[in-house]
Chain A
Amino acid sequence: MDKFTVLTAIAAALPEENIDTDKIIPARFLKTTKRSGLGVHAFDGMRYRPDGSENPDFVLNQEPYRKAEILITYDNLGCGSSREHAPWALLDFGIRCVIAPSFADIFNNNCFKNGILPIALPREVCTQLMDDARQGANSRLTVDLARQVIIRPDGKEVPFDVDPLRKQLLLEGLDDIGQTLQHEKAITTFEERRAQAQPWIPHIVLD
């Protein structure tokens, strides 16, 4: 997982509520065997017209937002299915930070597991940041995770909350696995103790 420290980037405003994971990545793309490559299908139904051409009205089809790394929406982003393909699609498109008044639980978890920082801020602050985003290529936002602030183009700072454990994982670029493997000695000890106490637990070995 890539570290998340300081991100200065173009932000795209998508002022909608209840953007569900089906909208982020429709079900027909779940038969893939990759995490990568889903970016082209992100927001498929909003991004493309029925004939497959780009919908010019959709923000991520417009310059400079094709290069957006921050996405700002309204409430309950990522509701619906638990599919991890949703954050995979966002990440593959280039999104590293999502900002909204609220997130669905599982989507929120899945973002952290994939190096995307979800930031919850009051709706009126989201609206202000959307206004910043609409100012174009020179109007970038800076997200400083260590200091827990968003720096707006005019230099004003917006503080945000983040779970301390998860913040640490993002700053160090450690995924859960990396964190757990720091406890590998405890796992090995557990396995040895258990093998003695319950030697009857079978190993799965095929002929």
Chain B
Amino acid sequence: MAPRTLFDKIWDSHVVETLPDSTAILYIDRHLVHEVTSPQAFEGLRLSGRRLRHPDATIAVVDHNVPTSDRTLPIEEADSRNQIETLERNVREFGVPYFPLLSARQGIVHVVGPEQGISLPGMTIVCGDSHTSTHGALGALAFGIGTSEVEHVMATQTILQKPAKNMKVVVEGQVGPGVTAKDIMLAIIGHIGTAGGTGHVIEFAGSAIRELDMAGRMTLCNMSIEAGARAGLVAPDETTFEYVRGRPFAPKGEAFDEAVAYWKTLASDEGAHYDRVVELRAEDITPVLTWGTSPETVIPVTGNVPDPAAEPDPSRRRQMQRMLDYMGLEAGQKIAGTPVDVVFIGSCTNSRIEDLRAAASIAAGRRVAPGVRAMIVPGSGIVKAQAEEEGLDKVFLEAGFEWREAGCSMCLGMNPDRLTPGQRCASTSNRNFEGRQGPGGRTHLLSPAMAAAAAVTGTLTDVRELI
């Protein structure tokens, strides 16, 4: 057999049948469900009298709409409450395993899946959410789908798809101090652009990637979608197996050994073909952030906001000027030192225990700058409990951060956590689109350590000055 990539191997092992026009009926191992994109799919099943084929391959959580304040109080926003209650009715009716709001296992779907051992290497994983790419960190083929497709998976445990192209992003070398997986990924997106991965599945490789822990790999794969890719992947290795071992829903004992033996066969073969290869040197990557309203507007924290006048293409020039106006920035200004109003540490990109430790290491012994609102939103109840066991909550609270309950929160502001018009936010989330965190809000994407640095200094700051 010709040498195959990790993607090729997972794809081939899940094709049920190939239709005449090369569309595959692709088997799905795990279907993650949340309250926003599922109600119409459940309704569709009900109206057509269809059953949900595999409740035992499905897991539901509430995350997008949930308040991150006191959970024992009623949910104030009526339409959010309704979406949550609807999910609860649906999971009861269709027998879907569900982590409810008051469960310690509740959290952001892309944090919960890996944490519980529900997402495993070699699997196909889907969810009605574009950041499903996160689970690719385990060496699983994971991608977001629309609501009709959610219903399709519920009814058939398959999806109709044509194969993607293979792309490899290689980062060799060792990153410097203060440089995290978030900086690596933002640097990659800055390099290839938001459409750089269109039609491709990106496999991340190279020594700098191998060095990353699972949280870092999840950050990387999470933002593959911001590079336009269908999915992101990291080949499973010892780091992966050690992460999976002992997780509640992972195979145990001999079954685990059998699984590992299989997972070890998944890495791309020597000589496998990639349609596109991009290489970056880890040493060239510095702490970075975004200045504009597209995730590709990445500059080093030591850099200056670009000048549209230097852009030859008129439509790009107009777009850059519009971004500057929206973001309230001047062409050519130094980005460091720009005052922030809000700091948001959370989201499926950066809300794991490792992210909170990195933020706490900067916050320890310091104070949130006057006038700044700084929020910590753990990715799950489990992450929150772990952080409290390690005393991180005290570090944050003593420094003046808010210590909140788990959910998607201010990443997209479907719950009450929103920016007000004109507020500037240092955010560990994944999208800086106009109005994403609240109408008129201004988002700078950066790492948890950089976000903590912004909180304690009150401005966008090079974290290396604080370590």
Contacts and interface: CB of A to CB of B under 8 A. Distances in A.
On whether the two chains bind one another, the answer is yes
Which applies to chain A's interface (DSSP): helix, strand, loop or mixed? loop
A187 B14 CA distance: 10
B148 A176 contact: yes
Given A177-B50, A183-B17, A194 B27 contact: yes
Contact of B148 (A110, A187, A203): A110
Contact of B25 (A31, A33, A180): A180
B243 to A, nearest CB: 16
A185 to B, nearest CB: 10
B158 A204 contact: no
Chain B contact-residue range equals 35 or more
Interface in B76-126: 79-80, 82-83, 86, 97-98, 117-118, 120, 123
Contacts of B148: 84, 110, 113-114, 175-176
A201 B97 contact: no
A135 B55 CA distance: 54
B256 interface: yes
B259 interface: yes
Nearest to B148: A113
Nearest to B256: A200
B17 A33 contact: no
B80 to A, nearest CB: 7
Nearest to B105: A206
B262 interface: yes
A203 B29 CA distance: 10
Given A114-B148, A184-B156, A205-B56, 10 more contacts: A34-B43, A35-B44, A84-B148, A177-B50, A180-B160, A181-B155, A200-B251, A201-B251, A202-B250, A204-B55
Interface of A: 30-35, 82, 84, 88, 106, 110, 113-114, 165, 175-177, 180-181, 183-184, 186-187, 190-191, 194, 198-206
Sorted nearest first, the 3 A-B pairs with minimum C-beta distance are A33-B39, A200-B255, A203-B56
20 contacts: A31-B414, A33-B39, A33-B40, A35-B43, A84-B147, A113-B148, A176-B160, A177-B152, A181-B155, A183-B16, A184-B156, A186-B17, A200-B251, A200-B258, A200-B262, A201-B120, A204-B58, A204-B59, A204-B97, A205-B56
